[in-house]
Chains A and B, each alone.
Chain A
Amino acid sequence: MFHHLNRWLFYFGVWLLLSGYLHDPLLLGFGILSCTLCAIVAWRMDVLDPEKEPLRLRLMSLQAFLYWPWLLWQIVKSNIDVARIILDPKLPISPTMISVRPIQRTDLGRVIYANSITLTPGTVTTDLRGDTLDVHALTQSAADDVLAGDMGRRVAQMEQRS
């Protein structure tokens, strides 16, 4: 019951933020009605099991608050690197494929790691199955950065603290 109420509050918060109808009782009523309908549908369909819904908790944990800004900084840095390579007249690329073993335990952690690798320009995750994660890198140094595993350790840390 608590989860459903929690979810309803979340829906209504998003609805208020996106619609902005704070002063119109009629539209506010419609908003409450549609949020309730959504909560009932989600409850009836039983697709959102609170035990299998760890995403929100993890995204909100302290480690996550440290991880996302760090990732943003990495993205900015690698963007500048790749832009410099592209604008260089000699085009100094050294494309390579590597395989790494993800050290994260959960699927969510691995997906966050793979997505983070793809999100930073210069490296793209091409495959993630079992215990290997294939990465295509634009340069050897970008590949070395992935092999050094700094990002992987940070994602694993986020996993443990949640």
Chain B
Amino acid sequence: MTLALDLLSWLALLGGLFFLAVGGIGLLRLPDFYTRLHAAGITDTLGAGLILLGLCFQGGWTQITIKLILILVFLWFTSPTATHALARAALADPENSPPMFHKKD
């Protein structure tokens, strides 16, 4: 049972690490501010989510798990708000370059 839990926990932690890394790579690879926001979205949702899930498995049925779940809930409520504020602030400033559009075929 402990082994299975440890395995699940490690799986989730490694998955979280993978998505955090992908988010970082995305920040570097994507061309402009607005597309980079989407890469940041990955680290906010699945990256942080899987890491916290893995830690929940380590915590077991204790208070720690409750607190971790609360952290996740608050993170998932606040991070889209922050992303929205960033995007809106960037769009509101006329000196910023406008978002990139792809050419329609």
Q: Pick the contact of A122: B38, B80, B88 (CB < 8 A).
A: B38
Which residues of B are interface residues toward A (Cβ below 8 A)? 19, 22, 25-26, 29-32, 34-35, 37-39, 41-42, 45-46, 63, 66-67, 70, 76-77, 79-81, 83-84, 87-88, 91, 99-102
Residues A92-133 near B (CB distance < 8 A): 93-97, 114-116, 118-127
Question: What are the 4 closest A-B residue pairs judged by CB atoms, nearest first?
Answer: A118-B80, A121-B41, A94-B102, A86-B26
Instruction: Determine the chain A residues whose CB is within 8 A of the CB of B67 once the complex forms.
Output: 18
Residue total for A at the interface (Cβ-Cβ under 8 A): 32
CB distance from B17 to the nearest CB of A (A): 13
Listed by A's residue number, 15 A-B pairs whose Cβ atoms lie within 8 Å are: A83-B19, A86-B42, A94-B102, A95-B32, A97-B101, A115-B80, A119-B76, A119-B80, A120-B41, A121-B45, A121-B46, A122-B38, A136-B37, A136-B87, A140-B102
Q: Is the CB of B102 within 8 A of A136?
A: no
Cα separation A29 to B71 with both chains bound (whole Å): 27
Q: Is the CB of A79 within 8 A of B91?
A: no
Cα separation A144 to B79 with both chains bound (whole Å): 24
